[in-house]
Amino acid sequence: MNIEPLQLFLDIATEAALAGGAVLQSYWGKLESIQEKGRPGDLLTEADRASEAQVLAVIQRHFPNHAILAEESGQLGDQAAEYLWAIDPLDGTTNYAHQYPFYGVSIGLLIRGVPSVGVVFAPFHQELFRAAKGLGATRNRQPMHVSQTAALAQSLLVTGFAYDRRETADNNYAEFCHLTHLTQGVRRGGSAAIDLAYVACGRLDGFWERGLSPWDMAAGVVLVEEAGGQVTAYDGGPFQIQTGRILATNGRIHAALSQELLQVKPLPEFQPQ
């Protein structure tokens, strides 16, 4: 793909992310409705819906023929379309609902299934992370790069736990314990999109998670790759967004982290509820 449409997609994604972020700030600390969507802890607020409406309005105004997969609206248009926007209008809803300021808007564009444009906007901190394939990655419009950390023992990682964590032994607890012992620490940010943005800008050295949705990852994948990092499946094979699993690092610790993830033994005491 030549540069021009990618730049246009990036600029429109930015406009949409800023619009969504402004909505999130307008509701910050003023929520009237916090519901559980299904599983315990999976929250939905009026801010999620209002942000999504703004984001969709911008994308649909500019690209009426593109397909959309948005967390609150679901699928709009043909999911096999050449251009598919994967949108999370509020990634980190639990944080947001508790006024813990780690959340953002995530807008990714898949072109023929390949994550190609990504914008993550963290409105509380006014941090705008942007990237498009071949165009590099920026934080607040300045070039950003992954960290140089070369050893797991010196690394700071991040992960998360999906809403089905009470129902499955494959809930990432064993991986969390295993990697906590091998590194300088493992954070649980509560926003996969911002976790990925933080890997991309070098604050964190690596991220892994399971049970994610395309809208959590599509933008962040582009940020990490364009910032010089690596994104794969846990085993180092090609990243496939539909699996919900991701391993994203600065590249230098990638093989070591992959190897450790494959070696994790289940925690003996886990009992599904």
DSSP class of residue 106 equals: E
* Site map 216..235 versus ligand IPD, x via CB under 6 A: x-------------------
Selected binder of ligand IPD within 88, 175, 225, 226 (CB under 6 A): 88
Total number of residues that touch Ca ion (CB under 5 A)? 5
CB 207 within 8 A of CB 248: yes
| Residue 195 interacts with Ca ion (CB under 5 A): yes or no | no
Q: Pick what 223 binds: Ca ion, ligand IPD, none; C-beta below 5 to 8 Å, kind-dependent.
A: none
Stretch that binds ligand IPD, among 3-11, 26-34, 208-216, 255-263 (CB under 6 A): 208-216
Q: Whose CA is closest to 196, among 127, 262, 263, 264?
A: 127
Tell me which of 13, 58, 162, 218 binds ligand IPD, using CB under 6 A.
162
Binding window for ligand IPD (CB under 6 A); candidates: 107-115, 124-132, 150-158, 209-217: 209-217
Q: Supply the DSSP symbol for 32.
A: -
Which residue stretch of 19-27, 54-62, 116-124, 159-167 sits at the interface with ligand IPD (rule: CB under 6 A)? 159-167
C-alpha 135/C-alpha 8 separation (Å) is: 12
DSSP string for residues in 170-225: -SSHHHHHHHHHHSSEEEE-S-HHHHHHHHHTTSSSEEEESS--HHHHHHHHHHHH
Residue 50 makes contact with ligand IPD by CB under 6 A? no
Applying CB under 6 A, does 72 fall inside the site for ligand IPD? no
Binding positions for Mg(2+) are 71, 88, 90-91, 216
Task: Based on the shown chain and the rule CB under 5 A, indicate whether residue 260 belongs to the binding site for Ca ion.
Answer: no
Per CB under 6 A, 93 contacts ligand IPD? yes
Which residue's CB comes closest to Ca ion? Answer: 91
For residues 270 and 188, is the Cβ–Cβ distance under 8 A?
no
Q: Contact 2/9 with Cβ under 8 angstroms? A: no
Strands (DSSP E) found in the chain: 34-36, 43-45, 67-70, 74-76, 83-91, 104-111, 114-122, 127-132, 136-139, 142-143, 156-159, 185-188, 206-209, 230-232, 246-249
Draw the binding track, 34-73, toward Ca ion (x: CB under 5 A; -: no contact).
-------------------------------------x--
